[in-house]
Structure 1
Amino acid sequence: MTASNIRQQILEHLKTLPGEQVKTVLLTWLTGTSTSLEDFERLLTHQATQTTEESFEYGEIDTELNFQPLTEAQMVQQSQSALEAYRSTGSGIAHDRVREWAESLGTDRERPCPR
């Protein structure tokens, strides 16, 4: 890979990061043992992957399609309530319906979430 290609990839990665993360990556690279563009690209790619993994939140979508973050305690409570409801009524959503819905996500024919 040419230096020009590496520079272009670095620019594309940098554009997606917040300023503080760019500063952290640059400081890490400049104070490391090697200041090659290849090392910088690897460091930047690792930082972008780490940022993506850390950005996942758990929650639910409300009736107005707004994301509502949930704490771990709230998730446990909802799971326990759902299990109790299932145990008392015996009703739930069939696996096949959930699978069909999940497989339709991201397609032109998304199915509504089974209830």
Structure 2
Amino acid sequence: MTEFYNRHYITIDTRSRIVGGWSDGPHPDRDTTGAICINEQGGYQFRLFPGGEENPPLYTVDGIPLYKWEGGQVVTRAEAEIAADRAAIPEPPPSPQEQLRADVDFLAAMQGVSL
């Protein structure tokens, strides 16, 4: 009997951070153009490491990649790298309520009124 394997793939961004990962088991028709095959003899579910967690999270809760592709292998990113990415996230724009409050405060200041 012939053993059947699935291939496991990752995609990386311009900084070699892993931004996607899948197995061709549940995703046999997914386009692999530009993807890196990290395991040609994997199981049905995606794993970053042999014997590792099935379908592991690839991002922190705030959307920062946890892993990178370095030297032909998957590497866990250092906390300092993750912290640098987190620090580079721009501040969100003010909510409509915050903007309204700022506008009211500005108008009050222009009229010399204290709120």
TM-score normalised by L of structure 2 = 0.29
Normalized per residue, the structure richer in strand is 2
Higher relative contact order (CA 8 A, sep 6+): 2
